[in-house]
Amino acid sequence: AEEALRRSETIAAIGQLASGIAHEIRNPLAGIKWAMESLRSKYPDSLDQLNMIMDELDRIDSIVGELLTLAKPHEAQHGYVHIHDVLQGVITLMTGNARKNNVSIQFVVPDTLPRIHCDPHQLKQVFINLLKNAIEAMPDGGTVRIEGLDDPRARRIVVRLTDEGTGIPEHLLQRLGQPFISTKEKGTGLGLMVTKKIVQDHHGALTFRKNDPRGTIAEVELPYDWLHTAPSTVPLGE
């Protein structure tokens, strides 16, 4: 318990630090963007490059914004939220990472899915962790497909991430979600533990199965409104 306390204290401290840094980045960024605006009218010949710089500055700005909301230590916040918006935020954060690894992201999430009762910050963490694993499973690049499906009969939505990576070793499937299980040199083996905990807190289910011909399909099922739904008992690995 003492160890857990110390850990949560550390995490809170890191969160504070990160949000401090994010603010420090945002201020000069605003100055740069303002100056860029005036350059645009002065140098019409370089408009293409200037627009590109502006686009990239906007990207930095939204990434820092996403970091700020993640880092901010917050009370559990529940509300009815569009999963589309949650996932869009995740993609904002992860596009750079994906690009660097030659991974393209296919986003097939209709914005017409019903809103679900959830803590959007925590759900964001779920999909960051899953997307990160998918990207890391494809060292030579590839495609990750993110789908959002509605299951009105069961009153739940399903978010499915399909990658074309190395696949999860058979012997690990049953143990996923236990701490410190990692096949990566620099892995923490904590990502899926956190992910599983958050999904369970939302009375949802997390499953993994093989993709054909290769890779992994991760599926997150989330009830529209878990206040009125019994917790799921679907096991993690299949």
Residue 180 falls in which region: left (phi positive, over 0), alpha (psi -120 to 50) or beta: left
> Which residue, 22 or 168, is less far from ligand ADP as judged by CB?
168
Q: Residue 204, interface with Mg ion (CB under 5 A)? A: no
> Which residue, 101 or 182, is less far from ligand ADP as judged by CB?
182
Closest CA to 222 of 148, 171, 168, 163: 148
Return the C-alpha torsion angle 126, 84, 222, 133, nearest 10: -30
β-partners of residue 81 are: 116
From the list Mg ion, ligand ADP, none, partner contacted by residue 189 (C-beta under 5 to 8 A by kind): ligand ADP
Q: Which of 163, 164, 219, 221 binds ligand ADP (CB under 6 A)?
A: 163
Q: Which of 19, 122, 207, 216 binds ligand ADP (CB under 6 A)?
A: 216
Q: Residue 101, interface with ligand ADP (CB under 6 A)? A: no
From the list ligand ADP, Mg ion, none, partner contacted by residue 137 (C-beta under 5 to 8 A by kind): ligand ADP
Question: Residue 117 is encoded by which pair of tokens?
Answer: 């009762």
- Ordered strands of the 103-108 beta sheet: 103-108, 142-151, 156-162, 216-223, 205-210
Positions in the binding site for Mg ion (CB under 5 A): 133, 191
Positions in the binding site for ligand ADP (CB under 6 A): 129, 133-134, 137, 163, 165-168, 172, 176, 181-184, 187-192, 216
